[in-house]
Amino acid sequence: MSEEKSDALAWWREARFGMFIHWGIYAQPAGEWKGERIPSLGEWIMRNAKIPIPEYEKIAEQFNPVKFDAEEWVSIAKDAGMKYLVITAKHHDGFAMFKSAHPYNIVDATPYGKDPMADLAAACQKAGIRLCFYYSQAQDWHAPGGAGHWEEDDGSGWTQQPVEPERFTRYLEEKAKPQVRELLTQYGPIGLIWFDTPVVITKEQSIELRDLVHSLQPDCLVSGRVGHGVGDYGSLGDNQHPDGAVEGDWETPCTINDTWGYKFYDDNWKSPEDLIRLLVKCAAKGVNYLLNVGPTAEGVIPEPSVERLKAVGQWLKFNGEAIYGTRATPFPCDFDWGRVTCKSGRVYLHIMNWPEETLRIAGLRNRVLRALMLAGSVSVPFSQSHEPGSDSRMVELNLPAEQPDPGIVVLALNIEGEPEVSSLPVEK
Ligand code: JFZ
């Protein structure tokens, strides 16, 4: 991470929670091809069902998301407590979901004929949400020279061609770079470009893409998946949350069910409690949580996702202070009872397993001024001790015997100064 980018990262660090949207013409087959359910990710159906390019192109001729309503999508994100939105402008299938000079795009190749990104840009602007774009820079199964490009072989079927460096360079120059330029010049300020699966890209090419983004919009961030570690922040593996401490700026992309792009029969939904737990576990490591929805071909965010996002938003309404603008736990370890976030003057205890008696926190060096449950602002009686001989410190919180809420209860400790803990917070 370069020094000069840290200002541009300020909003992103503060945000902690964003909406990922995987939306493309793959939502039309929705996980099924010629009567067969195709395993794995919805947005990978072209490759997994080995759909020839001319047949896949026909999907676009049916794609008509008449129920798409940008303001509604943005309000779903806002009600969930999400602060930014990252939408697939072009996924690996090569189809642009925006107005582009390249003809394979939603405006020119579908009956819909409109640019949803323009509507989203306006709705985001109005709602104070940062609009960001996902762009598959290397994999493009439709464009000659793109990684994973389909070509008809000797007549026996369709296969992926090995990538030849000169052809790939031509694809980058003729399609990827011009489209990145379009995304950064047609829709006003963009928060970040979420490049993905660098596969064959060279380090020089990753740097060129990053520099192109920064030259068009200096404050626009570039995701780590641009390749070769040259992005402005890193991406963890999908649905991952780190166990140990993490250095630097990271984000975890997550699914609510098991796919990114819509599949009509994937109903393996995580519970709202699971989603909140993952949000807390990410925040406790200073990691952003980018939670995905996969809208249908009609342009509707599936109801089970909407319900769950509402529940997360409800939790954040009371406990958001313990997520937004916080830093990773100051403690060198995790605790059985839950997770910790903090900011200047405050330590937040996210209680996932309600303790049987007193909750003991060892090692906090700051004087605690007050302890309260965030939801309802209920004060919690506590005591604090310090044994100078062994330099052992302890805060004891007398929680109610009954957990006041079945979800994660957050305790805020008002402290003096910046949170500080002993390097080994030993419990007696
Ligand atoms: C990629 C895409 O192939 C997929 O379709 C989706 O868009 C997802 C968000 O990103 O898949 C990945 C990329 C990287 C990892 C896992 C899945 N990873 O690093 O663990």
Together in a domain, 353 and 211: no
User: What confidence score (pLDDT) does residue 293 get?
Assistant: 98
User: What confidence score (pLDDT) does residue 239 get?
Assistant: 78
Q: Whose structure tokens read 């709705």?
A: 123
Q: Would you say 256 and 322 are in contact if contact means Cβ atoms under 8 Å apart?
A: no
β-pair partners for 342 = 327, 347
Structurally, the chain folds into a number of domains equal to 2
Range of the domain at 236: 3-322
Tell me the CA–centroid distance for residue 35 and ligand 1, in Å. 26
Domain CATH for 180: 3.20.20.80
Together in a domain, 158 and 221: yes
Average pLDDT over residues 209-219: 98
Mean pLDDT in the chain? 94
Atom of ligand 1 nearest to the CA of 235: 19
Tell me the CA–centroid distance for residue 238 and ligand 1, in Å. 6
In whole angstroms, what is the distance from residue 393 CA to residue 345 CA? 18
Helix crossing, 303-319 with 70-79: angle to 10°? 40
User: What is the CB-side half-sphere exposure of residue 220 using CA atoms within 13 A?
Assistant: 28
Structure tokens at 138: 């290397």
Bridge-based pairing of strands 368-373 and 409-415 is: antiparallel
* Residues contacting ligand 1 via CB (< 6 Å): 41, 43-44, 196-197, 237-238, 253, 260
**pLDDT tens by residue, 94-130:** 999 999 999 999 999 999 999 999 999 999 999 999 9
Task: Indicate which residue's Cα is closest to atom 5 of ligand 1.
Answer: 43
Average pLDDT over residues 146-165: 78
Together in a domain, 183 and 307: yes
User: What confidence score (pLDDT) does residue 216 get?
Assistant: 98
Atom of ligand 1 nearest to the CA of 22: 7
Structure tokens at 425: 């917070």
Tell me the CA–centroid distance for residue 260 and ligand 1, in Å. 9
Q: Is 427 inside any structural domain?
A: no
- Residue 199 C-alpha from the chain's centroid: 21
Q: Is 34 inside any structural domain?
A: yes
Q: Is 425 inside any structural domain?
A: no
Evaluate if residue 156 carries a pLDDT over 60: no
User: What confidence score (pLDDT) does residue 1 get?
Assistant: 47
* pTM for the whole structure: 0.96
Tell me the CA–centroid distance for residue 354 and ligand 1, in Å. 35
In whole angstroms, what is the distance from residue 426 CA to residue 428 CA? 7
Together in a domain, 303 and 189: yes
Complete DSSP assignment for 287-309:
EEEEEEE---TTS---HHHHHHH
Evaluate if residue 337 carries a pLDDT over 90: yes
User: What confidence score (pLDDT) does residue 360 get?
Assistant: 95
Average pLDDT over residues 170-184: 98
Q: Is 424 inside any structural domain?
A: no
Together in a domain, 257 and 374: no
